[in-house]
Amino acid sequence: MCPQVILTNGLPSGYLHYGPLRMEATACWAATMDLTIMVTRHRYKVSELHHLHTFDGVWNGGGGDEKKILFVSSFFFDRAAEAGFVDRKKPVAKVKPSDFEEAANHGCQLSVDDAKTTCPLVQEDHLPYLCMDLVYQYTLLVDGLELLFYYVFYY
């Protein structure tokens, strides 16, 4: 089993630091989207209440009628644009959680060298985290916000 954070294949193992948190990170030879989803769901305790994934419930899509139209930005937009399924030059884009799943399926199978050539829009310092970022976003949308696989939302 891989550790808590899965890096793109071909990278040396090490530690990631997020403020006071220190997490083991390694490139896993078996880094697939399914494995990364499993690690992500375990790491972020998806089976528990969703408040941890939604800033204590503040960012939860609103629920009810308010969940019919959802706009996301920032980290979601940046990774979607880098992965190539959102045009950075357009002011609004429609996407689905399945777009993140498809991009993650592709990105999680790539080595760093392959990712450089097949995903040229990904900034070099983001390449190590391509698989993890896309899977995290997919997991947050589907598990954290409980959006359906085909739910359309906007940037």
Report pLDDT digits (tens) over 36-87.
Answer: 666 666 665 655 555 444 544 545 555 555 556 666 777 888 888 988 998 9
Task: Specify the pLDDT at position 43.
Answer: 62
Phi, psi angles (nearest 5°) of residue 63: 70, 170
Which of residues 42 and 100 earns the better pLDDT score?
A: 100
CA distances from 139 to 39, 43, 65, 100, 125 (A): 11, 11, 22, 9, 22
Quote the domain boundaries for residue 17: 5-148
pTM of the model: 0.68
Q: Would you say residue 153 lies in a domain?
A: no
Neighbouring C-beta atoms of residue 98, cutoff 10 Å: 15
Q: Would you say residue 132 lies in a domain?
A: yes
Strands 21-27 and 5-7, how do they pair?
parallel
Q: Would you say residue 155 lies in a domain?
A: no
Task: Specify the pLDDT at position 2.
Answer: 39
Q: How many domains does the chain have?
A: 1
Residues 81/88, Cβ–Cβ less than 8 Å = yes
Q: Would you say residue 154 lies in a domain?
A: no
Q: Would you say residue 9 lies in a domain?
A: yes
Residue 30 has pLDDT above 80, yes or no: no
What are 7-17's pLDDT values in tens digits? 455 555 666 55
CATH number at residue 100: 3.30.420
- The helix/strand/coil state of 58 is coil
Residues 149/101, Cβ–Cβ less than 8 Å = yes
Task: Specify the pLDDT at position 99.
Answer: 92
What are 59-70's pLDDT values in tens digits? 555 555 555 666
Q: Would you say residue 36 lies in a domain?
A: yes
Q: Look up residue 85 and give its two tokens.
A: 């399924």
Task: Specify the pLDDT at position 58.
Answer: 47
- The helix/strand/coil state of 105 is helix
Residue 137 has pLDDT above 80, yes or no: yes
CB neighbours of 104 closer than 8 A, spacing ≥ 6? 33, 36, 131, 134, 135, 138
List the single range of 15-19, 115-119, 127-131 with lowest mean pLDDT. Answer: 15-19
